Amino acid sequence: MNVKIDSSTQDNNKTLVHVEGEIDAFTAPKLREQLIPLAEQEQPNITINLSKVSYMDSTGLGVFVGLLKVVRKNEGQLELVELSDRLERLFEITGLSDIIDISSKSEGGVL
């Protein structure tokens, strides 16, 4: 399975990213390759919609941990929204929900 990544920048300098498919050892490098440049900008504000992610393994979690480090280094913000119950549970079990801003619903329906 492949992963599809679409991003757009809003008027308020917020970058919205929609990820679709499976995030695993095969697709994680492609995801990392597209997300890290967004995080390397000055004060990045990134919201990632994961509503269409059907599967994620530990490699996917590693992508988001690495992304968070780059975002924080550049004094930005990272939010993951519209996680399925399964993904939300994965972030909770690993303790990542304590360090990454996650939400099961998008705010204001913008995504």
pLDDT in tens for each of the 111 residues of the chain? 689 999 998 877 799 999 999 999 999 999 999 999 999 999 999 999 999 999 999 999 999 999 999 999 999 999 999 999 999 999 999 999 999 999 866 544 444
The domains located in the chain, with CATH, are 3-103 (3.30.750.24)
pLDDT in the model for residue 5? 96
Q: Is the pTM of this model over 0.75?
A: yes
Neighbours of 52 (CB within 10 A): 13
Phi, psi of 59 (to 5 degrees): -65, -40
pLDDT in the model for residue 1? 65
Please say whether the dihedral angle defined by the alpha carbons of residues 74, 57, 21 and 99, taken in this order, is positive or negative: negative
